[in-house]
């Protein structure tokens, strides 16, 4: 079920809101013992919310763009009445009485919050228990591992995650689904536990570009209580993702991808560029201002210092029981100098300017999402190096499933757009999605 098909059924009266919720709960019960995508399920609350929606007058339901859609929420977002555990020990748990701003918008739009999905500890690198639905011996990516796996396995049609470097795009790519990271500030992060506040983005997982666009239309917009949200014009994102559009102009930094991607991924992206060109797109080869690893390293002082600041009080009281990778990262952040932090901030502003120059005259940049398909084992959640350019500069980006590798694991491509031009990016993504025609799903019951 797609979110759009659920909404159409509920609005027309062809199905009760409880139907999609019950189907999702049944799917979770059948599959999650093996995948561990969820850390909390609010079965009674979800069924009650669906029943309350079904009791509304037809006109009220028709005004709710996500009527009856079951949604999973990464467990760093506050959901009233559900625990927030942050993927960490009891010292970090809380019981919020209010929703995160974007969760409140989902509820107001008629979505039904099923529960909380697994995250790596504090949305960093210490892995969650979640397994990849395509092959349980491989990582689903991080840090939004549970949200990506839940959507890929058909447990929910859409889910929320967050990205500070690559934690929406990479899990989406590894799990063979769509991952949308809007521009920085497009959606409120109020009620989302921070990792690095100047880099944290709310993101969306879905099986189609149109579903991601539908959810963006609900959660986008400024929040007066969030100083990081931006007052920028909004568009009809669903219309942009479903309308016919001219063939796009794509910027393609071939040498950049060859610098860090393995042969399979690099060859796949090059073949995708040729398919775009053969379908009528203009593909312009261009350079990038820095090499992939240089860009990734450039933003690390910002991440370290801001993570240490966000955790200062909690870390001081609980350092010994922090997960090991985050403990080392926060400790390094406490040693970061103001000079290094400010130099990195200036460098990221320069990088943004350079990328905006490259976006002049093109509709999107074409990049890989990750250097490889999902790695085997759970010592790593994968390499976010190709996600860093868009995240560090706050540009919107989307991951699209685009094929299967020799291992049977998903391959994906990334499209990066201009700031606050999500409508244009979604239009290009939908055009590309139709061209690629990826329909494969994980081999699950």
Task: Give the whole-angstrom CA distance, residue 315 versus residue 330.
Answer: 8
Per-residue pLDDT tens digits for 366-410? 999 999 999 999 999 999 999 999 999 999 999 999 999 999 999
Local confidence band at 334 (pLDDT 50, 70, 90 cut-offs): very high
Rounded to a whole number, what is the distance in angstroms from the first to the last CA of the chain?
15
Across the range 233-251, mean pLDDT stands at: 97
Band (pLDDT 50/70/90 cuts) for residue 1 is: confident
Residues marked active site are found at 74, 143, 167
Mean pLDDT of 4-24: 96
Residue 445 has pLDDT above 80, yes or no: no
Among left, alpha and beta (phi > 0; psi -120 to 50; other), residue 149 is alpha
Q: What is the mean pLDDT of residues 20-45?
A: 98
C-beta separation of 386 from 397 below 8 A: no
> Predicted confidence band at 148 (pLDDT cuts at 50, 70, 90)?
very high
CB 412 within 8 A of CB 180: no
**Range 4-12 average pLDDT:** 96
Whether 91 has a pLDDT exceeding 80, the answer reads yes
Contacts 24+ apart (CB under 8 A), 28-31: 28/114, 28/150, 28/155, 30/445, 31/133, 31/153, 31/155, 31/444, 31/445
Q: Which two three-digit tokens encode residue 111? A: 């979505």
Supply 283's token pair. 């593909």
Let me know how long the chain is. Answer: 445
Q: Rounded to the nearest 10 degrees, what angle do helices 422-436 and 263-278 cross at?
A: 100
| H or E segment to which residue 151 belongs | helix 145-152
Summarised one tens digit per residue, pLDDT across range 99-136 is: 999 999 999 999 999 999 999 999 999 999 999 999 99
Domains and CATH numbers, the chain: 3-176 (3.90.1300.10)
Distance between CA atoms of residues 287 and 114, nearest Å: 44
154, pLDDT greater than 80:
yes
Mean per-residue pLDDT of the chain: 97
Task: Name the residue among 164, 361, 389 with its Cα closest to residue 290.
Answer: 389
Question: Residues 373, 410: contact at Cβ < 8 Å?
Answer: yes
| Residue 3 pLDDT greater than 80, yes or no | yes
Sign of CA dihedral 299, 368, 152, 237: positive
Tell whether pTM > 0.95.
yes
CA angle 176, 133, 40 (to 5 degrees): 110
8 A C-beta contact, residue 109 and residue 158: no
* Whether 54 contacts 16, CB under 8 Å: yes
Which position has the token pair 């992939």?
292
pLDDT at 434 over 70: yes
Residue 274 has φ and ψ, to the nearest 5°, of -70, -35
Query: Which pLDDT belongs to residue 370?
Result: 98
pLDDT band (50, 70, 90) for residue 247: very high
- Please write the tens of the pLDDT for every residue from 166-179: 999 999 999 999 99
Q: What is the pLDDT of residue 58?
A: 85
The mean pLDDT value for 419-432 works out to: 98
| C-alpha distance from residue 306 to each of 226, 301, 333, 364, 440 (Å) | 17, 8, 7, 30, 39
Which of 362, 355, 427, 357 is closest to 391 using CA atoms? Answer: 355
Query: In 240-275, which positions are buried (b, 16+ CB within 10 angstroms) versus exposed (e)?
Result: bbbeeeeebebbbbbebbebbbeeebbebbbebbee
């Amino acid at each position: 079920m797609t979110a759009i098909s659920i909404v159409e059924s509920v609005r027309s009266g062809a199905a009760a809101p409880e139907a999609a919720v019950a189907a999702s709960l049944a799917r979770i019960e059948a599959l999650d013992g093996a995948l561990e995508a969820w850390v909390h399920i609010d079965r009674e609350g979800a069924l009650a919310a669906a029943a309350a929606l079904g009791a509304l007058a037809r006109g009220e339901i028709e005004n709710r763009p996500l009527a009856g859609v079951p949604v999973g929420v990464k467990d760093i977002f506050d959901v009233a009445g559900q625990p927030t555990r942050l993927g960490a020990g009891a010292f970090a748990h809380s019981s919020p009485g209010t929703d995160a701003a974007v969760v409140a918008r989902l509820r107001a739009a008629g979505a039904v919050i099923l529960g909380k999905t697994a995250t790596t500890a504090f949305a960093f690198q210490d892995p969650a228990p979640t397994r990849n639905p395509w092959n349980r011996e491989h990582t689903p990516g991080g840090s939004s591992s549970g949200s990506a796996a839940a959507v890929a396995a058909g447990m929910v049609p859409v889910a929320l995650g967050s990205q500070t470097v690559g934690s929406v795009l990479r899990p989406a790519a590894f799990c063979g689904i769509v991952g949308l990271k809007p521009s920085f500030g497009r959606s409120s992060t109020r009620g989302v536990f921070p990792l690095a506040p100047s880099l944290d983005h709310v993101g969306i997982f879905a099986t189609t570009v149109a579903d991601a666009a539908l959810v963006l239309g609900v959660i986008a917009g400024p929040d007066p209580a969030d100083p990081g949200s931006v007052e920028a014009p909004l568009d009809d994102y669903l219309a942009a993702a479903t309308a016919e559009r001219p063939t796009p102009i794509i910027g393609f930094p071939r040498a950049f991808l060859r610098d860090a991607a393995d042969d399979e991924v690099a060859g796949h992206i090059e073949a995708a560029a040729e398919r775009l060109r053969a379908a009528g797109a203009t593909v312009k080869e261009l350079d990038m201002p820095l090499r992939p690893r240089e860009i990734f390293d450039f933003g690390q002082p910002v991440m370290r210092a801001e993570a240490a600041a966000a955790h200062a009080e909690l870390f001081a009281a609980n350092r010994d029981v922090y997960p090991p990778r985050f403990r080392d990262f926060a400790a390094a952040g406490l040693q970061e100098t103001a000079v290094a932090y400010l130099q990195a901030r200036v460098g990221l502003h320069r990088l943004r300017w350079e990328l905006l120059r490259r976006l002049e005259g093109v509709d999107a940049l074409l990049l890989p999402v990750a250097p490889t398909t999902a790695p085997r084992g759970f010592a790593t959640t994968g390499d976010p190096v190709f996600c860093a350019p868009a995240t560090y500069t706050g540009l919107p980006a989307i991951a699209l499933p685009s094929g299967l590798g020799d291992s049977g694991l998903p391959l994906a491509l990334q499209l990066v757009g201009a700031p606050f031009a999500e409508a244009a990016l979604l239009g290009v993504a939908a055009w590309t999605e139709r061209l690629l025609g990826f329909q494969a799903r994980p081999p699950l019951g």
